[in-house]
């Protein structure tokens, strides 16, 4: 019997994502001026207020207020009527030194012996469902909001009333053999300027989403995925009605509160640890990227059509406690999932130091991850500019989303005899 599966996304203007982006902007600035920095930074945003808290071990100094304001400005909170505005919001910093008790478990005389920054389990997932090996429902939910953001920032005359805060949700019907059959429901809630009449507002927003945004999303898909769109889709566009009060004024935002949006939209599994605001010594972040890298390369190499990879750690210990694999019965090799896991352990060194080196994680690459998901994104080299507290600027060339590279496919094929 067919079944339904749903994933959601949120825009860069969602209050939790505002918090994530500020936290990751701080990470990037620490990494740009001191790549050895150890950082765990949390952000809270609410009406007219930003609170920064966390622990840092670094050799640099940052103007955290200026960094936070620039993030808020870039997102689009630039008008006083939003009740949260880049130039006027209050910013309180309660960032202090990292605990020496934690740091002693990470730093080692031999860098290769670097211990995990915390205990826990991390998961990576990949599927052949889309070209970027991501679950389809989440991929579409991200795409809808990314298209709306592009319109708001680049073509404001096209849909002039859009404000930064938005959410989306996509429900897909699958067949018994787990193949997507059609899109069942699309939900979009977008913050907007005030309208004189609510009925006119609702009709206009619904028409623009269905007739402008969705066709643009559809046009970027493969013909097979375009066929999932039909006239029977149920649309819920701003289903509560008016959505003028939004962003941090409508809801308090916190770093790390959108971990399913950040990963696989509910597919696979999640270990519970957030990513944003953490330097790569925190395996919550680095090992989640590493397991995605493993999963994607295994699917791309033809080992299986779908896979979940788990790795776990003890704080201060370099060697993982264990590696687990689940191919959901889609394996193309004559091996058990346990045997596949043993080979994975030989191909990919999952000790924290080697993850950092393999994926180039001691670079300022994190701001780009803080909205629209950390996985399934485009791997590319960019040049970023950072401003020091003394007014000087520094340009850094970095490679983004290294965990999305298919650079281990040949090694995987060789290891599995493919």
Cα–Cα dist 207/161, whole Å: 13
Asked whether residue 278 is marked as a ligand-binding residue, the answer is: yes
**From CA 230, how far away is CA 150, in angstroms rounded?**
24
Asked if residue 98 belongs to a known ligand binding site, the reply is: yes
- 410 labelled binding-site residue: no
Q: Is 360 annotated as a binding residue?
A: no
Residue 66 — φ and ψ, nearest 5°?
Answer: -65, -40
- Residues near 142 by beta carbon (within 8 Å), at least 6 away in sequence: 9, 168, 372, 373, 376
Whether 251 has a binding-site annotation, put simply, is yes
- Determine whether the annotation assigns residue 395 to a binding site: no
Residue 386: C-alpha distances to residues 30, 31, 200, 261, 390 (Å)? 10, 10, 45, 28, 11
Q: Establish whether 257 is an annotated binding residue.
A: yes
109 assigned ligand-binding residue: no
Beta partners for residue 38, in sequence order: 57
Q: Is 16 annotated as a binding residue?
A: yes
Strands 3-10 and 162-174: antiparallel
300 in a known ligand binding site: no
CB 257 within 8 A of CB 275: no
CB under 8 Å to 371, separation ≥6 — which residues? 11, 12, 17, 20, 21
- Ligand-binding site membership of 74 (annotated): no
- Per-residue tokens: 290: 């590493």
Q: How many degrees, rounded to 5, is the angle at CA 143 between CA 286 and CA 200?
A: 135
Would you say 282 is a known binding-site residue? yes
Has 274 been labeled as part of a binding site?
yes
Q: Is there a binding annotation on residue 242?
A: yes
d(C-alpha 70, C-alpha 249), whole Å: 18
Binding site for L-methionine: residue ranges? 55, 98, 251, 282
Binding site for K(+): residue ranges? 42
Binding site for ATP: residue ranges? 14, 165-167, 242-243, 251, 257-258, 274, 278
Binding site for Mg(2+): residue ranges? 16
Binding site: residue ranges? 14, 16, 42, 55, 98, 165-167, 242-243, 251, 257-258, 274, 278, 282
């Amino acid at each position: 019997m067919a079944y339904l599966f749903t994933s959601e996304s949120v825009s860069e203007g969602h209050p939790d994502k505002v918090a994530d982006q500020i936290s990751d902007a701080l990470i990037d600035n620490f990494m740009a001026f001191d790549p050895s920095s150890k950082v765990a930074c949390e952000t809270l945003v609410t009406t007219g207020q930003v609170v920064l808290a966390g622990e840092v071990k670094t050799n640099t100094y940052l103007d955290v207020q200026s960094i936070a304001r620039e993030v808020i400005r870039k997102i689009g909170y630039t008008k006083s009527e939003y009740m949260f505005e880049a130039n006027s919001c209050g910013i309180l910093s309660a960032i202090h030194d990292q605990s020496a008790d934690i740091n002693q478990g990470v730093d080692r005389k031999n860098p290769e012996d670097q211990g995990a920054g915390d205990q826990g389990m991390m998961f990576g997932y990949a599927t052949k469902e889309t070209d970027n090996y991501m679950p389809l429902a989440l991929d579409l939910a991200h795409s809808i909001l990314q298209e709306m953001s592009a319109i708001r920032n680049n073509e404001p005359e096209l849909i002039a009333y859009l404000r930064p805060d938005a959410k989306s949700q996509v429900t897909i019907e699958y067949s018994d053999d787990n193949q997507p059959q059609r899109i069942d429901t699309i939900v979009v809630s977008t913050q907007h300027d005030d309208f004189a009449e609510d009925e006119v507002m609702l009709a206009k927003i619904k028409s623009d989403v269905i007739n402008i945004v969705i066709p643009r999303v559809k046009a970027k898909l493969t013909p097979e995925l375009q066929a999932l769109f039909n006239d029977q889709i149920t649309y819920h566009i701003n289903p509560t009605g008016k959505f003028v009060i939004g962003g941090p004024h409508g809801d308090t935002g916190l770093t790390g509160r959108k971990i399913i949006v950040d990963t696989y939209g509910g597919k696979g599994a999640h270990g519970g640890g957030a990513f944003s605001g953490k330097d790569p010594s925190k395996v919550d972040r680095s090992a989640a990227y590493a397991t995605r890298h493993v999963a994607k390369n295994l699917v791309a190499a033809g080992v299986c059509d779908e896979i979940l990879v788990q790795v776990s750690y003890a704080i201060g210990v370099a060697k993982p406690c264990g590696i687990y694999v689940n191919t959901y019965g889609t394996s193309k090799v004559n091996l058990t999932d346990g045997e596949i896991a043993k080979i994975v352990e030989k191909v990919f060194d999952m000790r924290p130091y080697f993850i950092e080196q393999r994926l180039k994680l001691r670079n300022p690459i994190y701001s780009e991850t803080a909205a629209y998901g950390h996985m399934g994104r485009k791997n590319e080299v960019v040049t970023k500019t950072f401003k020091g507290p003394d007014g000087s600027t520094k340009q850094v060339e970095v490679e983004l989303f290294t965990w999305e590279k298919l650079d281990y496919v040949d090694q995987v094929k060789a290891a599995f005899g493919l």
